[in-house]
Structure 1
Amino acid sequence: MRHSNPSLAMLAAAGISLLLVTRLAMAQTDKPITVGLDGTFAPHAMPKVGGKPGEVEGFNVDLATEVAKRLKRPINIVAQEFSGLIPALNAGRFDWLAAPTTVTPERAKNLLFTEGYLNTYYQLVLKKSAPDIAGLDALKGKKITVNKGSAYDKWADTNKDRYGFEVLAFPTQTDAVQAVMAGRADANLGGNTVVAWAAKQNPTLKLGARIDEGLMWAAPFRKDDVAGRNLVENAIECMKLDGTIARLHEKWFGIKPEPGSAAVTVFKGYGVPGTDGYDPTEHKPQCG
């Protein structure tokens, strides 16, 4: 008697499902993908030097463009304030968000995420002439700026009473950093790659404390778009396997991704393990 192998059966079923989704995508090759991002979130997305008004460049711009290329679809990238991106996604204006979006338990209840493509840490940036802020206890009595609607805004609002600081929310990350440079606030709280870029571009700034909460950036979809999520995740996994994301990491951040980090690791299943919407079904990336 022959015994079936449940694991092989699961992989076969996952492969068939992905094949069907891929064929559906191929049938839509003339339909542009429309994605949204925050065009002030350098070096992930920022105004293109010498470009047309509204034209952006950066790590996430390259990432989204490459995903569309692998899906054989044209892409329309729309830049707007971060606080309006998720509502616009849920209203159907975007197919998914190219903005680096931190996967939090709260967001995972309302959105469907791909697996993470970058690890992200919260970090402070402040004026070089100011006293160092090496730890969270040093935040007492400080004014901290954040990008409105971001995960950093949420963290700051949750922890302001605990550490005794005031939160100033701004519509863009650029405004939040400029408030620090102008002396209207003591520090900006943002993603580590973003504040490192700000400090690199502005010699009057320096980096402060970094907060590691084990978070990742991933691409969010509407809850009902499982097929779209899985298709884009497959492209992201192939970009990890062939080194594309690692090359983009070096191009925009100036360093290679750490071994075992989200930029080079293909995770089991679909989505971010341990969060709502995660599908543990094993699958093999289909890379053309």
Structure 2
Amino acid sequence: MTLTKSLYAGVVSACFALVAWPVPADEDDIKIVASFSILGDMVEQVVGDLATVTTIVGPDADAHVYQPSVADARAVAEADIIFVNGLGFETWSDTLISESGTEAAVHVATDGITPIKVDGETDPHAWNSLSNGVIYVTNVAAAVQKALPEHADEIGANADAYIAKLTALDTETKSKLANLPENRRTVVTAHDAFGYLADAYGLTFLAPVGIDTEAEPSAKELAALIDQLKAEGAAALFVENITSPVLVQQISEETGIAIGGRLFSDALSERGGPATSYLAMFQHNLGTLMDSLAREPAT
């Protein structure tokens, strides 16, 4: 069940009425809030130990349907800098930020990225292209350098080293996926989160659910996808870390297409998992895709 905007605003306001905000112990301690785990990791890579980074939507959590807590409201109220993804990803963030009364500067990490459309809607999952990831990092570094000019060189060096790793992985990804035959380039995931990856690396992603995990496919839409897959085929199906595997399992049972593993789409993994950073997430997804797509189909 989704709260209406007015009701949600009332909940947030009530949270602030109930909480006594402590005065920060150190006025020079820079506090940064990032809206979700992937963006939070990018920020941490850039700032190092120069700031405290708090992430609102944590690992293995779905930002599409997230409802902020009192602790989230407190973090936003006390923040000096706030980073959001933008492109309509965090439907709850505007209300949370406005109701908090925060004086923090709010920065949109996707500024400068050309968005793609899925069924007429803007796709917010821009981080699933590594070249876009470089833009995220560049935007984060610029914002933090402005807030901490005395550490601008260190922040710039952190960003440059991180961008070099992203660029190298981008080159590796293009090289590995370029060798796939055309009949091994179509895959199915739980929701439409990989449009940028598809565009960047020459793949086709199909999904029973659109860009928002809160939506559900109609029986007619699901049947049409299953019929399409029976007629045209797909190299593999993949479940996601933030969604139920039920729909993908149903598609697998009705089409005979094997489930190739689990991809991380909108969130990192918990500690000890295979995707505890943005780089590790992309490496895991690439390896999982290649394990299935490069495998010769059963005869």
Q: TM-score, normalised by structure 2?
A: 0.29
**Structure with higher RCO (Cα < 8 A, 6+ apart):** 1
Higher strand share: 1
Higher helix share: 2
Q: TM-score, normalised by structure 1?
A: 0.30
